[in-house]
A = this chain, B = another copy of it.
Amino acid sequence: MTTQTATEEQYTIGDFAKKVGLTAPTLRYYETEGLIEPHRLANGRRYYEEADINWVKFLLHLKGTGMSITELKQYVLWRAAGDDTIPERLDLLKKVKSDFLVQFNEVQHHLQILNDKINWYEEKEAGVTRDPESFRAYLDRFGHHE
């Protein structure tokens, strides 16, 4: 008795690329890096299944939190090695999260400065070239030196 879902659809690399928002070359590149392992047709061509979509999307989420290709590769290797490596994987993800949160805070500060500057320009624009302030004077006023 074989368990099989109704949608056992197969995608060519081109169709799959569109599905996950990557290009075919990028998928091949990820494959050489060991992140994906598509199936092959008798003629040697790759095909991808529904489950591969979730896997790639998950990879892209991890990538989006700042994991490098190298880290993703390590993660995949650990996963392939079985449940014994769960602590390692967990440590890696926690480290990624920790680094992410640091970055996240920094980036929020950067946004605040950007917003300040936008507001400053808007105020200045409203003031229509009255009181043309020198850059040095601006710096003195602006001076949020951390």
Contacts and interface: CB of A to CB of B under 8 A. Distances in A.
Interface residues of A, number: 45
Contact of A62 (B79, B83, B114): B114
Contacts of A96: 114
B64 A107 contact: yes
A15 interface: no
Interface string A66-106: 00000000000001000100110110011011001000101
Interface string A35-67: 000000000000000010111011001101100
Given A114-B96, A129-B83, A122 B64 contact: no
Q: Count this chain's copies in the assembly.
A: 2
Contacts of A143: 54
B97 A118 contact: yes
Interface in A121-145: 121-122, 124-125, 129, 132, 135-136, 139, 142-143, 145
Contacts of A125: 86-87, 90
A111 interface: yes
A86 B124 contact: yes
A79 B121 contact: no
